[in-house]
Chain A
Amino acid sequence: MSDRWVAVLAGGLSHERDVSLRSGRRVSAALRQSGVAVEEWDADASLLPKLREHRPDAVVIALHGGEGENGSIQTILELLGIPYVGTDAGTCRRAWDKPTAKAELRRAGVLTPDWVVLPQSAFRELGAQPVLDAMVERLGLPMMLKPDQGGSALGAQVVRSAAELPTAMVGSLAYSDAVLAEQFIDGVEVAVTVVDGPGGPEALPAVEIAPASGVYDYTARYTAGLTTFHTPARLDDATAAKVAELAVSAHRLLGLRDVSRTDAVVSATGEVYFIEVNLSPGLTETSLLPMAAEAAGRSLGSIYAGLVDRAIAR
Chain B
Amino acid sequence: MSTSGPLPDRLGARSLDPHLGRYAARAEGMTASEVRALFAVASRPEVVSLAGGMPNLAALPLDFLSDQIASIVADDGLVALQYGSAHGIPLLREQICEVMALEGVTGHPDDLVVTVGSQMALDLVTRIFIDPGDIVLAEGPSYVGALGTFASYQADVRHVVMDEHGLVPEALRAALAAAAQAGRRVKFLYTIPNFNNPAGVTLAVARRAEVLDICARHDVLVIEDNPYGLLGFDGQVYPALRSMDSDNVIYLGSFSKTFASGLRVGWALAPHAVREKLVLAAESAALCAPTLNQMVVSRYLATHDWKGQIKSFQTMYRDRRDALLAGLEQHMPAGCSWTRPDGGFFVWLTVPEGVDTKAMQPRAVTARVAYVPGTGFYADGFGSRQMRLSFCYPPPERITEGVRRLAGVLADELDLLRTFGPTASRSLSGPQTPAPDTA
Given known pairs A18-B37, A231-B12, A266-B1, the reply for A166 and B31 (CB within 8 Å) is: no
In the bound complex, CA of A230 to CA of B68 (Å)? 58
Binds B, one of A55-63, A218-226, A254-262: A218-226
Residues on A with C-beta less than 8 A from B9 are 234
Residues on B with C-beta less than 8 A from A98 are none
Residues on B with C-beta less than 8 A from A152 are 37
Is A309 close to B, CB under 8 A? no
Are B37 and A44 neighbours in the complex by a CB distance under 8 Å? no
- What are 24 A-B interface contacts by the 8 Å CB criterion? A15-B38, A18-B41, A19-B37, A166-B420, A167-B359, A170-B420, A170-B423, A173-B416, A174-B363, A175-B363, A219-B33, A222-B37, A224-B17, A225-B17, A226-B31, A228-B15, A229-B13, A230-B14, A232-B12, A234-B9, A236-B5, A236-B7, A238-B2, A238-B4
Is B40 close to A, CB under 8 A? yes
Q: Which residues in window 409-435 of B have CB below 8 A to A?
A: 413, 415-421, 423-426
- Nearest CB to that of A225 among chain B residues? B17
Is B16 close to A, CB under 8 A? yes
In the bound complex, CA of A222 to CA of B31 (Å)? 8
Residues on A with C-beta less than 8 A from B11 are 230, 234
Contact of B423 among A18, A155, A167, A223 (CB under 8 A): A167
Is A197 close to B, CB under 8 A? no
Residues on B with C-beta less than 8 A from A188 are 1
In the bound complex, CA of A13 to CA of B16 (Å)? 28
Contact of A235 among B1, B14, B34, B423 (CB under 8 A): B1
Contact of B32 among A169, A223, A232, A269 (CB under 8 A): A223
Nearest 6 CB-CB pairings of A with B: A225-B17, A18-B40, A270-B2, A222-B32, A224-B17, A166-B420
Residues on B with C-beta less than 8 A from A169 are 420
Is A239 close to B, CB under 8 A? yes
Are A218 and B2 neighbours in the complex by a CB distance under 8 Å? no
In the bound complex, CA of A18 to CA of B38 (Å)? 7
Is B342 close to A, CB under 8 A? no
Interface size class of B (residues with CB under 8 A): 35 or more
Binds B, one of A31-39, A72-80, A83-91, A120-128: A120-128
Give me the interface of B with A, judged by CB distance under 8 Å. 1-5, 7-9, 11-17, 19-20, 31-34, 36-41, 44-47, 356, 359-363, 365-366, 368, 413, 415-421, 423-426
Determine how close the nearest CB of chain B comes to the CB of A266; give it in whole angstroms: 5
Is A16 close to B, CB under 8 A? yes
Are B1 and A270 neighbours in the complex by a CB distance under 8 Å? yes
In the bound complex, CA of A152 to CA of B37 (Å)? 11
Contact of B419 among A124, A218, A235 (CB under 8 A): A124
Residues on A with C-beta less than 8 A from B415 are 124
Residue in A221, A228, A232, A234 with the greatest tally of chain B CB atoms within 10 Å: A234
Residues on B with C-beta less than 8 A from A128 are 419-421
Are B365 and A15 neighbours in the complex by a CB distance under 8 Å? yes
Contact of B14 among A14, A129, A228, A269 (CB under 8 A): A228
- Nearest CB to that of B364 among chain A residues? A174
Given known pairs A218-B32, A219-B31, the reply for A15 and B12 (CB within 8 Å) is: no
Are A44 and B46 neighbours in the complex by a CB distance under 8 Å? yes
Contact of A237 among B4, B356, B420 (CB under 8 A): B4
Are A286 and B423 neighbours in the complex by a CB distance under 8 Å? no
**A-B contact sample (5 more), CB < 8 A, given A17-B37, A230-B14, A236-B3:** A124-B418, A163-B424, A166-B423, A227-B15, A236-B1
Residue in A166, A174, A218 with the greatest tally of chain B CB atoms within 10 Å: A174
In the bound complex, CA of A231 to CA of B8 (Å)? 11
Are A170 and B417 neighbours in the complex by a CB distance under 8 Å? yes
Is A154 close to B, CB under 8 A? yes
Determine how close the nearest CB of chain B comes to the CB of A34; give it in whole angstroms: 23
Residues on A with C-beta less than 8 A from B362 are 15, 154-155, 174-175
Determine how close the nearest CB of chain B comes to the CB of A144; give it in whole angstroms: 17
In the bound complex, CA of A238 to CA of B2 (Å)? 9
Is A246 close to B, CB under 8 A? no
- Nearest CB to that of B359 among chain A residues? A171
Are A285 and B424 neighbours in the complex by a CB distance under 8 Å? no
Residues on B with C-beta less than 8 A from A164 are 424
Is A268 close to B, CB under 8 A? yes
Residues on A with C-beta less than 8 A from B38 are 15, 18
Contact of B41 among A13, A120, A232, A239 (CB under 8 A): A13
Residues on A with C-beta less than 8 A from B12 are 230-232, 295
